[in-house]
Structure 1
Amino acid sequence: MSDARLTDLEIRLAWQEDLLRTLEETLHAQQTRVGELETFCRQLTERLRALQDGHDPTPDDGPPPHY
């Protein structure tokens, strides 16, 4: 195998390793965000169910300031 071909393969491998690392970081960030959104969705669902049942899970801060 010639030096030029070996160098070309090494360059391609370096680019692929960098791309793979970037994709892994992106996937990890997306998975983290999906987890956060699932938690948020679950909380909203629980709150909506509580409101439908007539129980507001948020504390009552008293009357609005214009009273």
Structure 2
Amino acid sequence: MDSEARIADLETRLAFQDDALQTLSDVLVEQQRTLDRLQLQLEVLARRQEEMQSRIGDEGEEPPPPHY
């Protein structure tokens, strides 16, 4: 293989690798955005659950009605 063909082959490989790296980078950025959004949703759900548990805990401390 002559030098020009080798250089052309290397340039072609480099172009494909650059494209692959950019694609992977884009996917990683999208996954990070999704992860951030899911973490926020989880925090909101955890707060709601704590609020509901505290409400249920407050109601559970009431004495039973007299007919029991």
Normalising by the smaller structure, the TM-score range is 0.7 to 0.9
Look at both structures and tell me which one has the larger radius of gyration over its CA atoms: 2
Give the partner amino acid of 1:18. D
Higher relative contact order by CA 8 Å / sep ≥ 6: 1 or 2? 1
Give matches, 1:26-37, under 5 Å: 26-37=27-38
Q: Give the structure 2 partner of residue 60 of structure 1.
A: none
Structure 1: gaps of 5 or more residues: 56-67
Once the two structures are superposed, residues 44-66 of structure 1 have per-residue CA deviations (whole angstroms, 9 ceiling, x without a partner) of 000000000108xxxxxxxxxxx
TM-score (structure 1 length as normaliser): 0.79
In the alignment, is residue 12 of structure 1 matched against residue 9 of structure 2?
Answer: no
After the TM superposition, list the runs of 4 or more consecutive aligned residues in structure 1 that deviate by more than 4 angstroms. Answer: none
Could you tell me the percent identity over the aligned residues? 38
Give the Cα–Cα distance (whole angstroms) in 1 for the partners of residues 34 and 25 of structure 2: 14
Give the partner amino acid of 2:47. E
Once the two structures are superposed, residues 10-58 of structure 1 have per-residue CA deviations (whole angstroms, 9 ceiling, x without a partner) of 0000000000000000000000000000000000000000000108xxx
CA RMSD of superposed structures (Å)? 1.3
Which of the two has greater helix per residue? 2
